[in-house]
Amino acid sequence: MPAGQEDGVLRIGKRFVEIHGRQPHCIALAPGRVNLIGEHIDYNGYSVLPIATNHTVRVATSIDTHANSSLRREDNDDAGAAAAMVDITIAHADGEQGGHPARRITKHKHTGVPLDWSGEFASGPHWTNYVLAGILCWSDTDAMSDESSSIEIGVLVDGDIPQAAGLSSSSALVVASALATLSLHPSPPSLTCTHIAELCTHTERRVGTAGGGMDQSAIMCCRRGAALHVQFSPLRVSVVPLPTSRVVFVVAHSLVESPKAVQAATHYNKRVFECSLALAILDEAVGGFLGADDVVRSTLADFQRSRQLCHDGCRSLVRQHIREEAYTKVARQGEVSSVLGQERLDALLRRVGRDVWTLNHTFQPHKRALHVFGEAARVAEFLQLAEGPQRDTDATIVRLGELMNASDESMRDLYECGCPELTALTSICRKVAIGSRVTGAGWGGCTVSMVWSGDAQRFIETVKEGYYEPLMRERATASVGDDLGRYVFVVDPAEGAQLHMRERGDHAGGEGGWTPVELRD
């Protein structure tokens, strides 16, 4: 474990004792992720190429089971009564002063009645919802459902992944919380990294975003010094070499925050809906094989495979059968309701949320599908070059940069998930970078740039002088100065999530005593 991460483990262990008054049993670390190429195509069934960052979310937990319902029911008129319950207390190392007030969630168990957690997510996005989502990976286990005993879970969160920046701080929080409560599972050694990633993908949807699984897979499965090729249906991962002796990858923050769950209905989930609409139109054009449930379960990648088409062939079908102008909610022939039919429309809205229909009036399946098929083709070429015998040559590296640039242009023009600041930032980055693109969902957040190793410092200075200093002057705020490293930094492809458990009999106040747990590939 790198020295910085070891310090973080020791620090959160001490802080846990200060806040919860007892020792943590587990500490999990989950990195952020930077997607090199393959944006908004994981939920369309296509593969992606992310790396993990050295920034991490850290989650410490204690899990105590109390026999004979020894936790008191605080809301019962009979103060002496007791009942089995799940009692979860979530705190942040920064506390209320850092804008992270603690949250306590208590659920009472009733024989034969599954615990209903939906109400805990109904009040809107909140950072603790991601912690709860991670814990609920294990909601069906005996530990959580056994009516004969109560379970008390203490949680403490810390970390340094920039929030709402397109680096998957939210998914890292879900993964770390799931790992830190892994002992709730009756047979933890039976779980693989990909299985845990799939569980986290599913449970994070409780928070309100219809994600596809890239973030959780990268966070769980990435390996140091390499990219990760993540494929779906079924989920499988493989390590991809990068020309790291010749280039570095540099992240630069636009300073525009884009909280994915907050804007889901008009941004992220709307794009998921538009892609499903494109799938329905294409399916109808070639014979109409998909039922209501199939439109929800199937992807554009499934369509391509079923028709045995190349990416260009799919794009030709898009241009032929999906009109360029927007589709509307107006109830007439050729619009969304008519194209989908009520049954398929309802099925899709159950997946992405009815707010997508309520808050939007027009939809652009033509543009979205062109991006998806084009981006899938770029990922395939990037992968072929990165794994090829000429991967370290100038020509190959320049072509990788061109693919990154093309991806960014498609994100801006076809997927329309950019913002003026990102456009300005990528333009400045390209003055030095081989290639530069938005990474993450978009609408703000970060860019990732591939830079010749010898140009890294010149790149950082160029971005500082061309983007950050003018922006600070415009906002009449202090210069970035010593904080520059928070906004622009080199990413050394890092290891995926880690779990550490306290050694038996160790009662030290957070000083050492942690054993790494090997997670199965």
**Residues annotated catalytic, as ranges:** 215
d(CA 162, CA 70): 40
Residues contacting residue 24 through CB under 8 Å, at least 6 positions apart:
12, 13, 16, 17, 60, 61, 62, 154, 156, 502
Name 502's bridge partners: 514
Strand pairing class (103-108; 85-92):
antiparallel
Residues forming beta bridges with residue 438, ordered by sequence position = 447
Nearest-angstrom CA–CA distance, 173 and 160? 11
How far apart, in whole angstroms, are the C-alpha atoms of residue 31 and residue 495?
Answer: 8
Q: Is the dihedral of CA 155, 159, 163, 169 positive or negative?
A: negative
Quickly list H helices, 414-455.
420-429
Determine phi and psi for 430, rounding to 5 degrees.
Answer: -70, -10
* CB distance 42 to 72 below 8 Å: no
Classify burial at 272, counting beta carbons within 10 Å of its beta carbon; exposed 0-12, middle 13-18, buried 19 or more. Answer: buried
- Measure the CA–CA gap between 73 and 27, rounded to whole angstroms: 29
The one-letter code for the residue type at 263 is: Q
Residue 282 amino acid letter: L
Read off the DSSP letter of residue 474: H
Largest Cα–Cα separation, the chain: 77
Q: Where are the alpha helices (DSSP H) in 182-310?
A: 193-204, 214-221, 268-285, 292-297, 300-307
Burial class (CB in 10 A: 0-12, 13-18, 19+), 31: buried
Two structure tokens written together for 253? 């923050």
Q: What contacts 130, CB < 8 A, 6 or more positions away?
A: 170, 171, 173, 174, 177, 204, 207
Amino acid at site 365: P
